[in-house]
Amino acid sequence: MVSLFYLCDLFGVAVFAITGALMAGRKAMDLFGVLVVAIVTALGGGTLRDVILDRHPVSWIRDDTYILVATLAAVGTVIWVRLTHPIPERFLLIADAFGLAVFTVIGTEAALQQQVPLSTAVIMGVMTGVAGGVMRDIVCNDIPLIFHKEVYATACIVGSLSFIGLSRLDLLPGLATCLSMLIVLLIRLAAIRWHLALPRLHLLDRER
Report yes or no on 208 lying in a domain.
no
Report yes or no on 204 lying in a domain.
no
Report yes or no on 164 lying in a domain.
yes
Parent domain of 29: 4-194
Report yes or no on 205 lying in a domain.
no
Q: Is the pLDDT of residue 205 over 60?
A: no
pLDDT at 191: 94
In terms of pLDDT, which residue wins out, 184 or 2? 184
pLDDT at 63: 95
Q: Write out pLDDT tens, residues 126-172.
A: 999 999 999 999 999 998 888 876 799 999 999 999 999 999 998 98
Report yes or no on 82 lying in a domain.
yes
pLDDT (mean) for 13-35: 95
Q: How many CB atoms lie within 10 A of CB 108?
A: 31
Report yes or no on 13 lying in a domain.
yes
Question: What is the C-alpha separation between 207 and 184, in angstroms, rounded?
Answer: 43
Report yes or no on 207 lying in a domain.
no
Q: Write out pLDDT tens, residues 99-130.
A: 999 999 999 999 999 999 999 999 999 999 99
Q: How many CB atoms lie within 10 A of CB 171?
A: 13
Alpha-carbon distance values, 191 to 16, 93, 101, 106, 187 (Å): 19, 11, 14, 22, 6
3-state helix, strand, coil in the chain (%, to 5): 75, 0, 25
pTM metric for this prediction: 0.92
How many distinct structural domains can be found in the chain? 1
**Using alpha carbons only, what angle is made at residue 109 by residues 126 and 193, rounded to the nearest 5 degrees?**
45
Report yes or no on 202 lying in a domain.
no
Average pLDDT, the chain: 92
Best CA proximity match to 74, nearest among 43, 115, 53: 43
Q: Write out pLDDT tens, residues 40-75.
A: 999 999 999 999 999 999 999 999 999 999 999 999
Q: Is the pLDDT of residue 1 over 80?
A: no
